[in-house]
Amino acid sequence: MATRYFGTDGIRGRVGEAPITADFVLRLGWAAGRVFVEEFGEDAAVVIGKDTRISGYLFESALEAGFAAAGVDVLLLGPMPTPAVAHLTRSLHAVAGVVISASHNPFEDNGIKFFSGQGQKLDDRLQAAIEGKLEEPMTHVAPEQLGRASRVDDAVGRYVEYCKGTVTWGTRLDDLKIVVDCANGATYRIAPEVFRELGAEVVSIFDQPDGLNINRECGSTHPDNLARMVRAERADLGVAFDGDGDRVIMVDGQGNLVDGDQILFVLAEARHANGGLHGGVIGTVMSNFGLEEALRERGIPFERSPVGDRHVHEWLSQRGWVLGGESSGHILCLDRATTGCGIVSALQVIEALARTGKSLSAMTAGMVKCPQVMINVPAGGNDRVCLDGNEDIAQAVSRVESELAGRGRVILRPSGTEPVVRVTVEGPDAGEVKRLAEQLADSVERALKA
């Protein structure tokens, strides 16, 4: 679907620059509200949650005003993980949920993404309808029909209980010491509480958001501090979330990084062993070849979708499978949650450790990662860059593929969330992969500037 505003993960950009401005978000709330009223009736209500960015207050108010002008009631959750908004949208019987977040991006960015009443990403048809409504003049319902706003005071407790309920009844974490990196983001209250209430000893870090420090040298995109803390605390493992809590990266007791591919492997092997896998695993074109090989050796089907949790979810649904995700740590356990949740995914891994008595390093030992290097090449501010038809880039890719001679993979992909082209090279030799990735990134950068 070609859209003007909606990208792969909602609408996202730098605060104060179109479309991430107060006036646009006001009109977006109104447009979405009118679409929801037309689709679901005049009793429509929506849920709004946000991460901890300072601009979240601004856009929460703008959305609230837009929905009210459209005659839609609003339930305000405050700072909550994205998957919590998805769950509470369904639990509270709202027609849609809205998240104000730019996920793993710095605080200067923000975005808006929508969930359906079933707690899944809003379908393309309704997104297109919202975009169409944005082209119409903004109107107001009659004063007596204006939407009302109220706060859900027990939202945190509701989601804590939900997360605990995703592990098998009776599972306890009493013998585990866990370091939890909250990225100064939306999980800062919920995640430590979940692990503590299940019995773990928790060391919570980066849990003091100030509106400006979300994702700053912390969280799933910067796990070095987590690794150091795990070693210093002699913890059993560490868990790092991104700013809105839909991604998780882990660290074993020795401080070694465990990424989304390895998390998928641990979950797939554990579920395969106890009969709970229900089919195969969906990765993406970016998933490490080592994951594919490890699953093949165990007789577990594996397929690659395009990048993006929306695509992973779609492929899982089409096949009736439940487990998939991305190397970035966005993991889908559809028998536990309707969308990717970092807390739920971490709990699934930790339950497998508790059940088997193995360490995280032992659980990941069965997967040998293939060396992979990804370099982000600036796209000159163009977030809709197209690589098709660029002869210079095609020739550069061909040269690298020829040198790899079938021993690896080359992936070029414009990011759906940032104005960059992700250049990835994968192969058996780490030094060769690094050299080829740097060469290709230089060629792509020159071609984009030409």
Report d(CA 100, CA 50) in Å as an integer: 4
Q: Say whether both 63 and 121 belong to one domain.
A: yes
Catalytic residue among 55, 101, 103, 328: 103
Residue 239, in any domain of the structure: yes
Report which secondary-structure segment, H or E, holds 344.
helix 342-356
CB 126: neighbour CB atoms within 10 A? 16
pLDDT of res. 448: 86
The residues, any chain, with a CB within 8 Å of residue 107's CB and separated by 6 or more, are 53, 54, 55, 211, 212, 213, 214, 215, 216
Q: Say whether both 306 and 219 belong to one domain.
A: yes
Q: Among residues 364, 385, 401, which one ends one of the domains? A: 364
Domains contained in the chain, number:
3
Residues in the chain: 450
Hey, what are 43's tokens?
């009793």
Q: Among residues 337, 364, 391, which one ends one of the domains? A: 364
CB 445: neighbour CB atoms within 10 A? 17
Q: Among residues 99, 129, 153, which one ends one of the domains? A: 153
pLDDT of res. 276: 87
Report d(CA 214, CA 186) in Å as an integer: 9
Residue 1, in any domain of the structure: no
Residue 352, in any domain of the structure: yes
Note down pLDDT in tens along the chain; length 450 residues: 457 898 877 999 999 999 999 999 999 999 999 999 999 999 999 999 999 999 999 999 999 999 999 999 999 999 999 999 999 999 999 999 999 999 999 999 999 999 999 999 998 899 999 999 999 999 999 999 999 999 999 999 999 999 999 999 999 999 999 999 999 999 999 999 999 999 999 999 999 999 999 999 999 999 999 999 999 999 999 999 999 999 999 999 999 999 999 999 999 999 999 988 989 999 999 899 899 999 999 999 999 999 888 899 999 999 999 999 999 999 999 999 999 999 999 999 999 999 999 999 999 999 999 999 999 999 875 545 667 778 889 999 999 999 998 888 899 988 776 788 999 999 989 999 999 999 999 999 998 887
Report d(CA 56, CA 4) in Å as an integer: 23
Q: Which domain holds residue 241?
A: 159-364
pLDDT of res. 60: 98
Residue 2, in any domain of the structure: no
pLDDT of res. 107: 97
CB 41: neighbour CB atoms within 10 A? 9
Q: Could you confirm whether 103 is annotated as catalytic? A: yes
| Cα–Cα nearest to 245, from 337, 371, 360, 374 | 337
